Amino acid sequence: MGFKGDLLVCTSLECETREEMLTSMELAKKEGADIVELCVGSLSFSHISEVEHLFNQRNLPSIVSFGCTKQRRRHSVTETAWLQILKRAVAMGVEFVEINHEVRAWEIINELKRQLSNTKVIISNYVNTGNFTTEKLGDLIVEMQSTNADVIKLVINVDYITDVAPIFHMLAHCQLGMGVIGMQVPLIARAVGERGLISQLLGPKYGAFIVSGSLNGKSEPGLPPLVSIKQIYKLHYMDSDTKIFGVVSNPVAHSKGPLLHNSAFRHTGYNGIYVPLLVDDINEFFRVYSANDFAGFSVGIPHKENAVSCCDEVDPLALSIGAVNTIIRRPTDGLLIGYNTDCEACITAIEDALTEHYNVNGHQSKASPIAGRLFVLIGAGGAGRAMAFGAKSRGARVVIFNRNFVRAKALAEAVSGEALPYECLNEFGPEKGMILANSSAVGMEPNTDQTPVCKAALKSYELVFDAVYTPRKTRLMQEAAEVGSIVVSGVEMFIRQALGQFKLFTDGLAPEEFMRKVVLEQF
Protein backbone atom coordinates (compact mmCIF):
# COMPACT_ATOMS: atom_id res chain seq x y z
CA MET A 1 0.00 0.00 0.00
CA GLY A 2 1.49 3.31 -1.08
CA PHE A 3 1.44 6.60 0.70
CA LYS A 4 0.90 9.08 -2.13
CA GLY A 5 -2.48 8.00 -3.40
CA ASP A 6 -5.91 8.94 -2.19
CA LEU A 7 -6.40 10.09 1.37
CA LEU A 8 -7.28 7.28 3.78
CA VAL A 9 -10.01 7.91 6.34
CA CYS A 10 -9.54 5.84 9.50
CA THR A 11 -11.48 5.09 12.65
CA SER A 12 -10.46 3.14 15.74
CA LEU A 13 -12.53 0.14 16.81
CA GLU A 14 -12.50 -0.75 20.49
CA CYS A 15 -14.83 -3.68 21.10
CA GLU A 16 -15.01 -6.51 23.62
CA THR A 17 -15.89 -9.31 21.20
CA ARG A 18 -14.97 -10.30 17.66
CA GLU A 19 -18.63 -10.05 16.64
CA GLU A 20 -18.86 -6.48 17.91
CA MET A 21 -15.63 -5.63 16.12
CA LEU A 22 -16.95 -6.97 12.80
CA THR A 23 -20.28 -5.17 13.23
CA SER A 24 -18.46 -1.91 13.97
CA MET A 25 -16.24 -2.46 10.95
CA GLU A 26 -19.28 -2.81 8.71
CA LEU A 27 -20.71 0.43 10.13
CA ALA A 28 -17.36 2.17 9.62
CA LYS A 29 -17.39 1.11 5.98
CA LYS A 30 -20.90 2.51 5.50
CA GLU A 31 -19.88 5.81 7.09
CA GLY A 32 -16.96 6.25 4.72
CA ALA A 33 -13.94 4.69 6.44
CA ASP A 34 -11.21 3.43 4.12
CA ILE A 35 -9.22 1.73 6.86
CA VAL A 36 -9.80 0.77 10.51
CA GLU A 37 -7.58 0.45 13.54
CA LEU A 38 -8.30 -2.84 15.28
CA CYS A 39 -7.53 -2.19 18.94
CA VAL A 40 -6.79 -5.76 19.99
CA GLY A 41 -6.16 -4.60 23.53
CA SER A 42 -9.90 -4.10 24.00
CA LEU A 43 -10.80 -7.67 22.97
CA SER A 44 -11.59 -10.49 25.36
CA PHE A 45 -10.30 -13.73 23.87
CA SER A 46 -9.07 -17.04 25.20
CA HIS A 47 -6.95 -18.12 22.25
CA ILE A 48 -5.06 -16.36 19.47
CA SER A 49 -7.18 -18.24 16.91
CA GLU A 50 -10.08 -15.90 17.79
CA VAL A 51 -7.96 -12.94 16.76
CA GLU A 52 -6.94 -14.77 13.57
CA HIS A 53 -10.62 -15.21 12.70
CA LEU A 54 -11.06 -11.45 13.08
CA PHE A 55 -8.18 -10.81 10.67
CA ASN A 56 -9.66 -13.27 8.17
CA GLN A 57 -13.16 -11.79 8.32
CA ARG A 58 -12.25 -8.11 8.11
CA ASN A 59 -13.84 -6.23 5.20
CA LEU A 60 -11.58 -3.16 5.31
CA PRO A 61 -7.83 -2.63 5.26
CA SER A 62 -6.67 -2.62 8.86
CA ILE A 63 -4.10 -1.46 11.36
CA VAL A 64 -3.50 -3.94 14.19
CA SER A 65 -2.66 -2.13 17.40
CA PHE A 66 -2.86 -2.74 21.13
CA GLY A 67 -3.66 0.83 22.04
CA CYS A 68 -7.07 1.55 23.54
CA THR A 69 -8.60 3.79 26.17
CA LYS A 70 -8.21 2.72 29.76
CA GLN A 71 -11.98 2.31 30.03
CA ARG A 72 -12.01 -0.27 27.25
CA ARG A 73 -8.90 -2.30 28.12
CA ARG A 74 -10.21 -5.79 28.82
CA HIS A 75 -7.11 -7.68 29.82
CA SER A 76 -3.37 -7.45 30.00
CA VAL A 77 -1.64 -8.98 26.99
CA THR A 78 1.80 -10.39 27.71
CA GLU A 79 4.64 -9.33 25.48
CA THR A 80 4.93 -12.89 24.20
CA ALA A 81 1.25 -13.05 23.22
CA TRP A 82 1.43 -9.53 21.81
CA LEU A 83 4.38 -10.39 19.61
CA GLN A 84 2.70 -13.61 18.52
CA ILE A 85 -0.41 -11.68 17.41
CA LEU A 86 1.73 -9.19 15.48
CA LYS A 87 3.53 -12.03 13.72
CA ARG A 88 0.24 -13.66 12.77
CA ALA A 89 -1.08 -10.33 11.44
CA VAL A 90 2.05 -9.97 9.29
CA ALA A 91 1.83 -13.59 8.09
CA MET A 92 -1.82 -13.08 7.15
CA GLY A 93 -1.07 -9.92 5.21
CA VAL A 94 -2.85 -7.38 7.40
CA GLU A 95 -2.01 -4.00 5.91
CA PHE A 96 -0.42 -2.36 8.98
CA VAL A 97 0.77 -3.32 12.44
CA GLU A 98 1.51 -0.70 15.06
CA ILE A 99 4.26 -0.78 17.67
CA ASN A 100 4.82 1.66 20.51
CA HIS A 101 8.12 3.49 20.43
CA GLU A 102 8.65 2.82 24.12
CA VAL A 103 9.03 -0.96 23.68
CA ARG A 104 11.93 -2.80 22.03
CA ALA A 105 10.91 -1.18 18.79
CA TRP A 106 14.02 -1.63 16.64
CA GLU A 107 14.45 -5.29 17.62
CA ILE A 108 10.76 -6.16 17.15
CA ILE A 109 10.42 -4.30 13.84
CA ASN A 110 13.39 -6.09 12.36
CA GLU A 111 12.09 -9.43 13.58
CA LEU A 112 8.74 -8.75 11.90
CA LYS A 113 10.42 -7.60 8.69
CA ARG A 114 12.23 -10.91 8.36
CA GLN A 115 8.84 -12.32 7.42
CA LEU A 116 8.04 -12.06 3.72
CA SER A 117 4.98 -9.81 3.73
CA ASN A 118 3.52 -6.59 2.33
CA THR A 119 2.56 -5.48 5.84
CA LYS A 120 3.84 -2.02 6.78
CA VAL A 121 5.05 -1.31 10.30
CA ILE A 122 3.89 1.83 12.11
CA ILE A 123 5.87 3.09 15.08
CA SER A 124 3.81 5.29 17.39
CA ASN A 125 4.53 7.73 20.17
CA TYR A 126 2.14 9.54 22.53
CA VAL A 127 3.43 13.01 23.40
CA ASN A 128 1.63 13.93 26.61
CA THR A 129 2.85 17.46 27.10
CA GLY A 130 2.04 20.83 25.64
CA ASN A 131 5.67 21.92 26.02
CA PHE A 132 6.87 20.82 22.60
CA THR A 133 8.28 22.69 19.65
CA THR A 134 8.81 22.01 15.96
CA GLU A 135 12.46 21.27 16.71
CA LYS A 136 11.63 18.75 19.45
CA LEU A 137 9.13 17.00 17.22
CA GLY A 138 11.74 16.88 14.47
CA ASP A 139 14.28 15.28 16.79
CA LEU A 140 11.69 12.73 17.94
CA ILE A 141 10.77 11.84 14.34
CA VAL A 142 14.43 11.31 13.40
CA GLU A 143 14.83 9.05 16.45
CA MET A 144 11.71 7.07 15.54
CA GLN A 145 12.78 6.86 11.91
CA SER A 146 15.97 5.09 12.96
CA THR A 147 13.92 2.07 14.08
CA ASN A 148 13.41 1.10 10.43
CA ALA A 149 9.64 1.49 10.65
CA ASP A 150 7.69 2.23 7.48
CA VAL A 151 5.40 4.86 9.01
CA ILE A 152 5.67 7.19 11.99
CA LYS A 153 2.65 8.02 14.11
CA LEU A 154 2.44 10.85 16.65
CA VAL A 155 -0.49 11.35 19.00
CA ILE A 156 0.02 14.67 20.74
CA ASN A 157 -1.92 16.13 23.65
CA VAL A 158 -2.52 19.84 23.05
CA ASP A 159 -3.70 22.53 25.44
CA TYR A 160 -4.37 25.24 22.84
CA ILE A 161 -5.23 25.34 19.16
CA THR A 162 -1.91 27.09 18.54
CA ASP A 163 -0.14 23.90 19.70
CA VAL A 164 -1.27 22.24 16.45
CA ALA A 165 0.92 24.50 14.27
CA PRO A 166 4.13 22.45 14.81
CA ILE A 167 2.22 19.34 13.70
CA PHE A 168 1.36 20.96 10.38
CA HIS A 169 4.99 21.97 9.98
CA MET A 170 6.20 18.41 10.55
CA LEU A 171 3.59 16.92 8.22
CA ALA A 172 4.77 19.16 5.41
CA HIS A 173 8.44 18.64 6.29
CA CYS A 174 8.17 14.85 6.36
CA GLN A 175 6.70 14.74 2.89
CA LEU A 176 9.61 16.79 1.53
CA GLY A 177 12.34 14.78 3.26
CA MET A 178 13.95 15.70 6.56
CA GLY A 179 16.59 15.04 9.13
CA VAL A 180 19.99 13.44 8.90
CA ILE A 181 18.62 10.44 7.06
CA GLY A 182 17.17 12.66 4.35
CA MET A 183 14.28 10.53 3.12
CA GLN A 184 10.54 10.81 2.90
CA VAL A 185 8.84 9.71 6.11
CA PRO A 186 5.11 8.98 5.92
CA LEU A 187 3.69 10.58 9.05
CA ILE A 188 0.39 10.06 10.80
CA ALA A 189 -0.27 12.88 13.26
CA ARG A 190 -3.19 13.61 15.54
CA ALA A 191 -3.68 16.26 18.20
CA VAL A 192 -5.79 15.03 21.11
CA GLY A 193 -8.57 17.16 22.58
CA GLU A 194 -11.20 19.60 21.32
CA ARG A 195 -8.56 22.15 20.36
CA GLY A 196 -6.81 19.56 18.21
CA LEU A 197 -9.66 19.01 15.75
CA ILE A 198 -7.98 20.96 12.96
CA SER A 199 -5.09 18.48 12.96
CA GLN A 200 -7.45 16.12 11.14
CA LEU A 201 -9.50 18.62 9.15
CA LEU A 202 -6.47 20.49 7.77
CA GLY A 203 -3.92 17.66 7.83
CA PRO A 204 -4.38 16.69 4.14
CA LYS A 205 -3.39 20.21 3.06
CA TYR A 206 0.02 19.62 4.62
CA GLY A 207 0.47 16.10 3.24
CA ALA A 208 -1.31 13.79 5.71
CA PHE A 209 -2.21 10.50 4.05
CA ILE A 210 -4.42 9.27 6.91
CA VAL A 211 -6.98 11.23 8.93
CA SER A 212 -9.13 9.83 11.72
CA GLY A 213 -12.80 10.26 12.51
CA SER A 214 -15.29 9.07 15.11
CA LEU A 215 -17.76 6.28 14.43
CA ASN A 216 -21.54 6.52 14.53
CA GLY A 217 -21.61 10.28 15.09
CA LYS A 218 -20.16 9.95 18.57
CA SER A 219 -18.52 13.08 19.87
CA GLU A 220 -14.83 12.43 20.53
CA PRO A 221 -12.65 15.46 21.33
CA GLY A 222 -10.35 16.17 18.41
CA LEU A 223 -12.09 13.83 15.97
CA PRO A 224 -14.67 14.80 13.34
CA PRO A 225 -17.49 12.31 12.74
CA LEU A 226 -16.60 9.95 9.90
CA VAL A 227 -19.59 11.01 7.81
CA SER A 228 -18.59 14.67 7.99
CA ILE A 229 -15.13 14.02 6.54
CA LYS A 230 -16.52 13.09 3.13
CA GLN A 231 -19.94 14.72 3.21
CA ILE A 232 -19.25 18.14 4.78
CA TYR A 233 -15.52 18.79 4.65
CA LYS A 234 -14.77 16.62 1.59
CA LEU A 235 -11.13 16.27 2.62
CA HIS A 236 -10.33 14.11 -0.40
CA TYR A 237 -10.49 17.25 -2.55
CA MET A 238 -8.08 19.24 -0.40
CA ASP A 239 -4.65 20.10 -1.75
CA SER A 240 -1.77 22.40 -0.90
CA ASP A 241 -3.53 25.34 -2.60
CA THR A 242 -6.74 25.05 -0.55
CA LYS A 243 -7.54 28.30 1.28
CA ILE A 244 -8.44 27.97 4.96
CA PHE A 245 -11.45 29.69 6.49
CA GLY A 246 -13.10 29.07 9.84
CA VAL A 247 -15.12 30.28 12.77
CA VAL A 248 -13.07 31.58 15.70
CA SER A 249 -15.19 31.01 18.77
CA ASN A 250 -15.41 29.46 22.24
CA PRO A 251 -17.56 27.39 22.37
CA VAL A 252 -17.62 26.44 18.71
CA ALA A 253 -19.13 22.95 18.43
CA HIS A 254 -22.63 24.39 17.93
CA SER A 255 -21.68 26.33 14.80
CA LYS A 256 -23.43 25.41 11.55
CA GLY A 257 -20.96 27.51 9.58
CA PRO A 258 -18.96 24.49 8.34
CA LEU A 259 -22.09 22.90 6.88
CA LEU A 260 -23.08 26.07 5.02
CA HIS A 261 -19.77 27.49 3.86
CA ASN A 262 -18.25 24.19 2.75
CA SER A 263 -21.36 23.41 0.71
CA ALA A 264 -21.12 26.84 -0.90
CA PHE A 265 -17.42 26.37 -1.67
CA ARG A 266 -18.18 23.12 -3.49
CA HIS A 267 -21.17 24.63 -5.29
CA THR A 268 -19.13 27.54 -6.63
CA GLY A 269 -15.98 25.53 -7.33
CA TYR A 270 -13.94 27.63 -4.89
CA ASN A 271 -10.93 25.78 -3.46
CA GLY A 272 -11.55 26.51 0.20
CA ILE A 273 -12.40 24.76 3.46
CA TYR A 274 -14.23 26.18 6.49
CA VAL A 275 -13.51 24.64 9.89
CA PRO A 276 -14.42 25.20 13.55
CA LEU A 277 -11.61 26.90 15.46
CA LEU A 278 -11.83 26.60 19.25
CA VAL A 279 -9.77 29.62 20.26
CA ASP A 280 -8.94 30.78 23.78
CA ASP A 281 -6.62 33.69 22.97
CA ILE A 282 -7.53 35.36 19.68
CA ASN A 283 -4.41 37.53 19.57
CA GLU A 284 -2.15 34.51 19.97
CA PHE A 285 -4.17 32.61 17.37
CA PHE A 286 -3.56 35.24 14.71
CA ARG A 287 0.10 35.55 15.71
CA VAL A 288 0.69 31.83 15.15
CA TYR A 289 -1.50 31.26 12.10
CA SER A 290 -0.20 34.17 10.06
CA ALA A 291 0.27 32.52 6.65
CA ASN A 292 -1.77 33.80 3.71
CA ASP A 293 -3.40 30.39 3.38
CA PHE A 294 -5.38 31.22 6.53
CA ALA A 295 -7.49 33.52 4.40
CA GLY A 296 -10.65 34.45 6.29
CA PHE A 297 -12.53 34.03 9.53
CA SER A 298 -15.93 34.32 11.09
CA VAL A 299 -15.65 35.59 14.65
CA GLY A 300 -18.03 34.33 17.33
CA ILE A 301 -18.52 34.37 21.10
CA PRO A 302 -16.65 35.83 23.01
CA HIS A 303 -14.11 37.32 20.60
CA LYS A 304 -16.05 39.87 18.51
CA GLU A 305 -14.94 42.90 20.48
CA ASN A 306 -11.33 41.80 21.01
CA ALA A 307 -11.10 41.00 17.30
CA VAL A 308 -11.09 44.73 16.54
CA SER A 309 -7.61 45.12 18.03
CA CYS A 310 -6.36 42.09 16.06
CA CYS A 311 -7.07 43.78 12.74
CA ASP A 312 -4.68 46.00 10.83
CA GLU A 313 -7.64 47.83 9.29
CA VAL A 314 -11.32 47.92 10.31
CA ASP A 315 -14.31 48.84 8.16
CA PRO A 316 -15.93 52.09 9.43
CA LEU A 317 -19.22 50.38 10.36
CA ALA A 318 -17.44 47.69 12.38
CA LEU A 319 -15.23 50.33 13.98
CA SER A 320 -18.24 52.40 15.08
CA ILE A 321 -19.92 49.28 16.47
CA GLY A 322 -16.76 48.20 18.23
CA ALA A 323 -17.18 44.58 17.16
CA VAL A 324 -15.92 42.50 14.25
CA ASN A 325 -17.56 39.26 13.10
CA THR A 326 -15.59 38.79 9.87
CA ILE A 327 -11.86 39.05 9.19
CA ILE A 328 -10.20 38.76 5.79
CA ARG A 329 -6.48 38.38 5.23
CA ARG A 330 -5.73 40.65 2.28
CA PRO A 331 -3.71 38.53 -0.16
CA THR A 332 -1.61 41.40 -1.48
CA ASP A 333 0.03 42.25 1.84
CA GLY A 334 -1.25 39.74 4.41
CA LEU A 335 -2.96 42.40 6.53
CA LEU A 336 -6.09 41.51 8.52
CA ILE A 337 -9.17 43.54 7.60
CA GLY A 338 -12.19 43.52 9.94
CA TYR A 339 -15.88 43.81 9.03
CA ASN A 340 -19.27 43.42 10.68
CA THR A 341 -22.03 41.61 8.77
CA ASP A 342 -24.14 41.00 11.89
CA CYS A 343 -25.60 44.50 11.97
CA GLU A 344 -27.41 44.57 8.63
CA ALA A 345 -28.25 40.86 8.87
CA CYS A 346 -30.18 41.32 12.11
CA ILE A 347 -31.87 44.63 11.33
CA THR A 348 -32.96 43.74 7.79
CA ALA A 349 -34.36 40.42 9.05
CA ILE A 350 -36.51 42.30 11.58
CA GLU A 351 -37.52 44.97 9.07
CA ASP A 352 -38.55 42.43 6.45
CA ALA A 353 -40.61 40.48 8.99
CA LEU A 354 -42.49 43.63 10.02
CA THR A 355 -43.00 44.70 6.41
CA GLU A 356 -44.35 41.28 5.46
CA HIS A 357 -46.64 41.27 8.48
CA TYR A 358 -48.22 44.58 7.46
CA ASN A 359 -48.51 43.40 3.86
CA VAL A 360 -47.10 46.50 2.22
CA ASN A 361 -47.47 44.87 -1.22
CA GLY A 362 -44.09 46.00 -2.44
CA HIS A 363 -44.47 49.66 -1.45
CA GLN A 364 -41.22 50.85 0.09
CA SER A 365 -41.69 53.38 2.85
CA LYS A 366 -38.82 55.81 3.30
CA ALA A 367 -38.89 55.19 7.04
CA SER A 368 -37.82 51.90 8.55
CA PRO A 369 -40.63 49.96 10.30
CA ILE A 370 -38.33 50.03 13.33
CA ALA A 371 -38.24 53.85 13.46
CA GLY A 372 -39.65 55.31 16.64
CA ARG A 373 -40.20 51.92 18.28
CA LEU A 374 -38.79 50.83 21.59
CA PHE A 375 -36.07 48.30 20.78
CA VAL A 376 -35.34 46.15 23.85
CA LEU A 377 -31.98 44.40 23.60
CA ILE A 378 -30.75 41.54 25.77
CA GLY A 379 -26.97 41.27 25.82
CA ALA A 380 -24.16 43.78 25.33
CA GLY A 381 -21.50 41.61 23.68
CA GLY A 382 -20.33 41.73 20.09
CA ALA A 383 -23.64 40.66 18.54
CA GLY A 384 -25.53 42.94 20.91
CA ARG A 385 -23.43 45.93 19.90
CA ALA A 386 -24.19 45.24 16.23
CA MET A 387 -27.93 45.11 16.95
CA ALA A 388 -27.86 48.24 19.11
CA PHE A 389 -26.07 50.32 16.47
CA GLY A 390 -28.29 48.89 13.75
CA ALA A 391 -31.46 49.77 15.64
CA LYS A 392 -30.17 53.25 16.37
CA SER A 393 -29.36 53.80 12.69
CA ARG A 394 -33.00 53.05 11.87
CA GLY A 395 -34.36 55.54 14.40
CA ALA A 396 -35.36 53.16 17.18
CA ARG A 397 -35.20 53.96 20.88
CA VAL A 398 -32.81 51.44 22.40
CA VAL A 399 -33.07 49.93 25.91
CA ILE A 400 -30.40 47.45 26.98
CA PHE A 401 -30.47 44.69 29.59
CA ASN A 402 -27.29 42.78 30.38
CA ARG A 403 -26.13 40.76 33.38
CA ASN A 404 -23.08 43.02 33.57
CA PHE A 405 -24.76 46.39 34.06
CA VAL A 406 -21.55 48.34 33.47
CA ARG A 407 -21.32 46.89 29.95
CA ALA A 408 -24.99 47.60 29.33
CA LYS A 409 -24.55 51.20 30.43
CA ALA A 410 -21.48 51.72 28.24
CA LEU A 411 -23.32 50.41 25.18
CA ALA A 412 -26.41 52.47 25.97
CA GLU A 413 -24.33 55.63 26.11
CA ALA A 414 -22.75 54.76 22.75
CA VAL A 415 -26.17 54.57 21.05
CA SER A 416 -27.90 57.31 23.09
CA GLY A 417 -30.08 54.66 24.68
CA GLU A 418 -30.91 53.50 28.19
CA ALA A 419 -29.55 50.68 30.33
CA LEU A 420 -31.65 48.95 32.97
CA PRO A 421 -30.81 46.24 35.52
CA TYR A 422 -31.15 42.71 34.13
CA GLU A 423 -33.37 41.74 37.06
CA CYS A 424 -36.03 44.19 35.83
CA LEU A 425 -36.41 42.59 32.39
CA ASN A 426 -39.52 40.51 33.15
CA GLU A 427 -41.30 43.52 34.66
CA PHE A 428 -40.40 45.92 31.88
CA GLY A 429 -43.36 46.91 29.70
CA PRO A 430 -43.94 50.64 29.43
CA GLU A 431 -45.76 50.34 26.11
CA LYS A 432 -47.20 47.89 23.62
CA GLY A 433 -45.70 47.08 20.24
CA MET A 434 -42.08 46.91 21.38
CA ILE A 435 -39.37 44.87 19.67
CA LEU A 436 -37.35 42.36 21.68
CA ALA A 437 -33.96 41.16 20.45
CA ASN A 438 -31.98 38.50 22.29
CA SER A 439 -28.26 38.62 21.48
CA SER A 440 -27.21 36.50 24.46
CA ALA A 441 -26.50 32.76 24.40
CA VAL A 442 -29.39 31.96 26.75
CA GLY A 443 -31.37 29.06 25.27
CA MET A 444 -28.56 27.80 23.05
CA GLU A 445 -27.82 24.08 22.91
CA PRO A 446 -27.39 22.25 25.20
CA ASN A 447 -29.37 24.57 27.53
CA THR A 448 -32.52 24.51 25.41
CA ASP A 449 -34.85 24.66 28.41
CA GLN A 450 -33.68 28.19 29.26
CA THR A 451 -35.15 31.50 28.11
CA PRO A 452 -34.11 35.09 28.91
CA VAL A 453 -37.68 36.39 29.33
CA CYS A 454 -40.71 34.79 30.97
CA LYS A 455 -43.69 34.01 28.75
CA ALA A 456 -46.02 36.50 30.44
CA ALA A 457 -43.66 39.40 29.71
CA LEU A 458 -43.62 38.60 25.98
CA LYS A 459 -47.17 39.90 25.53
CA SER A 460 -45.80 43.46 25.40
CA TYR A 461 -43.73 42.75 22.29
CA GLU A 462 -45.05 42.86 18.75
CA LEU A 463 -41.91 41.18 17.43
CA VAL A 464 -39.37 38.90 19.13
CA PHE A 465 -36.01 38.12 17.56
CA ASP A 466 -33.59 35.49 18.90
CA ALA A 467 -30.01 35.42 17.61
CA VAL A 468 -29.66 31.82 18.88
CA TYR A 469 -30.14 29.40 16.00
CA THR A 470 -29.25 26.10 17.67
CA PRO A 471 -31.92 24.91 18.21
CA ARG A 472 -33.78 26.50 15.32
CA LYS A 473 -36.88 26.99 17.49
CA THR A 474 -35.70 28.13 20.89
CA ARG A 475 -37.96 28.22 23.91
CA LEU A 476 -38.09 32.02 23.53
CA MET A 477 -39.32 31.64 19.94
CA GLN A 478 -41.93 29.05 20.86
CA GLU A 479 -43.37 31.05 23.74
CA ALA A 480 -43.34 34.31 21.75
CA ALA A 481 -45.36 32.64 18.99
CA GLU A 482 -47.80 31.27 21.56
CA VAL A 483 -48.60 34.79 22.86
CA GLY A 484 -49.07 36.10 19.31
CA SER A 485 -45.81 37.93 18.67
CA ILE A 486 -44.14 38.02 15.27
CA VAL A 487 -41.08 35.79 15.60
CA VAL A 488 -37.80 36.05 13.71
CA SER A 489 -35.41 33.14 14.11
CA GLY A 490 -31.67 33.47 14.47
CA VAL A 491 -31.48 31.22 11.41
CA GLU A 492 -32.53 34.19 9.26
CA MET A 493 -29.81 36.37 10.72
CA PHE A 494 -27.34 33.51 10.29
CA ILE A 495 -28.17 33.20 6.58
CA ARG A 496 -27.82 36.91 5.95
CA GLN A 497 -24.59 37.44 7.86
CA ALA A 498 -23.13 34.30 6.24
CA LEU A 499 -23.97 35.64 2.78
CA GLY A 500 -22.11 38.81 3.63
CA GLN A 501 -19.15 36.83 4.91
CA PHE A 502 -19.03 34.52 1.89
CA LYS A 503 -18.91 37.52 -0.43
CA LEU A 504 -15.94 38.82 1.53
CA PHE A 505 -14.29 35.38 1.56
CA THR A 506 -14.60 34.92 -2.21
CA ASP A 507 -14.40 38.53 -3.39
CA GLY A 508 -18.06 38.85 -4.28
CA LEU A 509 -19.06 35.28 -5.10
CA ALA A 510 -22.19 34.25 -3.14
CA PRO A 511 -24.87 31.78 -4.31
CA GLU A 512 -27.71 33.23 -2.22
CA GLU A 513 -30.46 30.87 -3.35
CA PHE A 514 -28.26 27.82 -2.85
CA MET A 515 -27.02 28.91 0.60
CA ARG A 516 -30.54 29.67 1.80
CA LYS A 517 -31.69 26.26 0.58
CA VAL A 518 -28.85 24.51 2.43
CA VAL A 519 -29.72 26.23 5.69
CA LEU A 520 -33.47 25.67 5.48
CA GLU A 521 -33.06 22.01 4.53
CA GLN A 522 -30.31 21.07 6.94
CA PHE A 523 -30.76 23.21 10.06
- Which residue is catalytic, options 304, 409, 459, 503? 304
Q: Which of 350, 412, 413 is nearest to 378 (CA)?
A: 412
pLDDT band (50, 70, 90) for residue 178: very low
pLDDT at 223 over 90: yes
pLDDT band (50, 70, 90) for residue 5: low
**pTM of the complete model:** 0.91
Cβ neighbourhood burial of 469 (10 Å; 0-12, 13-18, 19+): buried
More confident position, 371 or 361? 371
What is the chain's alpha carbon radius of gyration, rounded to the nearest angstrom?
27
Phi-psi region at 189: left, alpha or beta (left = phi > 0; alpha = psi -120 to 50)? beta
Q: Which of 368, 425, 381, 366 is nearest to 399 (CA)?
A: 425
Q: Is the dihedral of CA 236, 239, 242, 248 positive or negative?
A: positive
pLDDT tens, position by position, 22-33: 999 999 999 999
pLDDT tens, position by position, 430-489: 999 999 999 999 999 999 999 999 999 999 999 999 999 999 999 999 999 999 999 999
pLDDT tens, position by position, 73-89: 445 567 788 899 999 99
The values of phi and psi at residue 250, to 5°, are -160, 100
Whole-number pLDDT of residue 132: 81
Three-state DSSP at 291 gives: coil
Q: Is the dihedral of CA 83, 89, 90, 95 positive or negative?
A: negative
What is the per-residue DSSP string for 360-385? Answer: -TT---SS-TTTTSEEEEE--SHHHH
- In this structure, of 99-108, 367-376, 502-511, the range with the lowest mean pLDDT score is 99-108
Whole-number pLDDT of residue 131: 73
**Count of other CB atoms within 10 angstroms of residue 125:** 19
More confident position, 20 or 104? 20
Q: Which of 196, 208, 201, 203 is nearest to 232 (CA)?
A: 201
Question: Known catalytic residue: 304?
Answer: yes
- Percent of the chain at pLDDT > 90 equals 82
pLDDT at 4 over 80: no
The values of phi and psi at residue 208, to 5°, are -60, 135
pLDDT tens, position by position, 190-211: 999 999 999 999 999 999 999 9
Identify the helix (H) or strand (E) that includes residue 180: none
CA distance 334 to 286: 11
